[in-house]
């Protein structure tokens, strides 16, 4: 939290694990972003699953990184956010991440028609 408040960049994995497809996001990323008033820059990374396999064979691995639009959560000036609201914010953020991944990797967030943006504000 102190790093974010000091203007540093912090990389967080919102699922808390590595899987071939997105699993349900954890609320920790939302909690930290709200407490630090930090912006979120969603980043989809593709191709890392082959990295170790290729490294053992001294082959290069093609990795692509796709960035989505930066955003902040809208807490409407509230100091505390309920668990349900925090979960809603987490899902909105995860759908922004899912948009950056190929359809077969979206997993829990595969249905983009469920995506909402009512509690996030995109930054210019």
- In the prediction, which pLDDT does 72 show? 95
The closest of 43, 31, 41, 42 to 1, measured between CA atoms, is: 31
Q: How far apart are CA 85 and CA 50, in angstroms?
A: 37
Q: How far apart are CA 19 and CA 111, in angstroms?
A: 18
84 sits in which H/E element: helix 83-98
Provide the 3-class DSSP secondary structure of residue 57: coil
- Note the pLDDT tens digit of each residue in 83-123: 899 999 999 999 999 999 999 999 999 999 999 999 999 99
Rounded to 10 degrees, what is the CA torsion of 74, 76, 79, 82? -70
- In the prediction, which pLDDT does 79 show? 65
- Note the pLDDT tens digit of each residue in 37-91: 899 999 999 988 888 999 999 999 999 999 999 999 987 766 678 889 999 999 9
Q: How far apart are CA 117 and CA 115, in angstroms?
A: 7
- In the prediction, which pLDDT does 75 show? 75
Place of tokens 């995109």: 122
Give percent helix, percent strand, percent coil of the chain, each to the nearest 5.
40, 10, 50
- Note the pLDDT tens digit of each residue in 13-47: 898 777 889 999 999 999 999 989 899 999 999 98
117 to 7, 46, 85, 96, 121: CA distances (angstroms): 25, 24, 13, 9, 8
């Amino acid at each position: 939290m102190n790093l974010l408040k000091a203007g540093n960049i912090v990389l967080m994995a919102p699922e808390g694990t590595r899987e071939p497809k997105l699993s349900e996001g954890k609320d920790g990323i939302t909690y930290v972003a709200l407490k630090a008033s930090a912006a979120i820059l969603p980043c989809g990374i593709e191709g890392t699953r082959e990295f170790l396999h290729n490294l053992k064979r001294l082959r290069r691995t093609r990795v692509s990184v796709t960035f989505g639009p930066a955003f902040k959560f809208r807490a409407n000036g509230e100091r505390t956010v309920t668990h349900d609201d925090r979960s809603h914010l987490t899902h909105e953020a995860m759908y922004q991440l899912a948009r950056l991944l190929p359809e077969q990797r979206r997993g829990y967030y595969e249905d983009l028609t469920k995506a909402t943006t009512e509690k996030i504000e995109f930054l210019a």
